[in-house]
Amino acid sequence: MAELQIEYGKVSCKNLGNGYSENNSDVLLNSLQLIQKYNYSAEEHIVVTKNGYQLKTFRLPNKGPPVLLVHGIGDSSDSWLVLGPQYSLAYLLADAGFDVWLFNARGNRYSKKHTGKPSRKSYWNFSYEEIGSEDVPATIDYILSTTRHSKLTYIGFSQGTTVFFVMCSLLPEYNSVINHAILLAPVAWMKYIKYPLIDFFSQNLNNLISLDTKLKVYEVFPFNINLNIYHSLVCNVHSPFKLLCELELFVNFGLKTFTNLLPDRLPIIMSHIPVGTSSKTFFHFIQGYGTKRFQRFDYGIEKNQKVYASSLPPEYDVSLITAPMTLVVSEEDWFSDTNDVEILRSRLKTVDKYVVINKSLQFTHLEFVYGSRVNTIINKPVINILKTLTSR
């Protein structure tokens, strides 16, 4: 950690340029730079959706079958890289010979461009539905066209699972191009979510939406280099201010100790999140908690009639999903509660494996991607599933 502290001492808003040398800490590196730093082959691709959003997709090319990794809310492709080659799933899959593709949803730090010139309000008028019904299908089409494979394996975390359910429900033809879906901390129904502030947000949702419209916010938790550097400083086990980071992680995720994440990598993890999404995406999730339904966005009775020909938004019909799936849940997860996943599971027809991580392990939501035990609990089992699929 001493070396990292020296690096942090050099960091200031004044000396942050557009390009960083290989000697810089990983705190400052984007996805492409992280891949290249550790001597992996790296490619950058631009996927364009049918309505003009440009999605920057990263690839660790290999001769093996393609695997698509889809991040959680307010996150990016960085999430599959920041733990470094020994712990991050993207590197481990590449080591195992798979052709690894890293998705970036519209609106995050990598995917903020558009082929047209939409107004700010128009650009940010999306929720997880559009990510699932437009961004993910466009990315899958691009990968299959580029690799000339007929199918790929899908790995999603948190919102990365939500958008999978949306895609395969609204566009059931995409079920046929999914070899297998491994869904980590799946989120659909949110009746039992344990996030402490969810009741407050739900009870004040209409006011929040009105305020958002009045202030023309539209984007929330954008990538901010100053905030990320702050996180890299306070989320250091040697920092005298580490309590600020501990409180943030506990309040937001129920994480009780730094040791459940990789302490040496924690400044790097926290300097890469959040990276931006639309306020509408958060509103959509909060609606789901309030209604206890996994449903399309609720615009109110009048607009719902115009959009859906119904006063209520339709539910996503997950019974239409036919792709084979593995669900991995933790009894200690605030956001993917096992009771909610049981509701989901009861409506799914093609769950091959259902893995429940025991409460005694205190395995929280962040740990599915960023945890110190991620190799034994998540990564190795995931890679074993993929190797089994390729050996058939």
* Torsion angle of the four alpha carbons 125, 127, 133, 138, in this order, in degrees rounded to the nearest 10: 70
Please give the pLDDT value at position 22.
37
Domain-wise residue ranges, the chain = 2-391
pLDDT in tens, 271-293: 999 999 999 999 999 999 999 99
Please give the pLDDT value at position 392.
77
Helix axes 279-291, 205-215, angle to 10 degrees: 170
158 is catalytic: yes
Q: Which residues of the chain have pLDDT under 50?
A: 1-24
Catalytic residue among 79, 158, 232, 336: 158
Architecture in CATH of 2-391:
3-Layer(aba) Sandwich (3.40)
Please give the pLDDT value at position 17.
36
Please give the pLDDT value at position 23.
36
272 is catalytic: no
Please give the pLDDT value at position 25.
82
Q: HEC string of 139-170?
A: HHHHHHHHHCCCCEEEEEECHHHHHHHHHHHH
Catalytic residue among 71, 180, 284, 365: 365
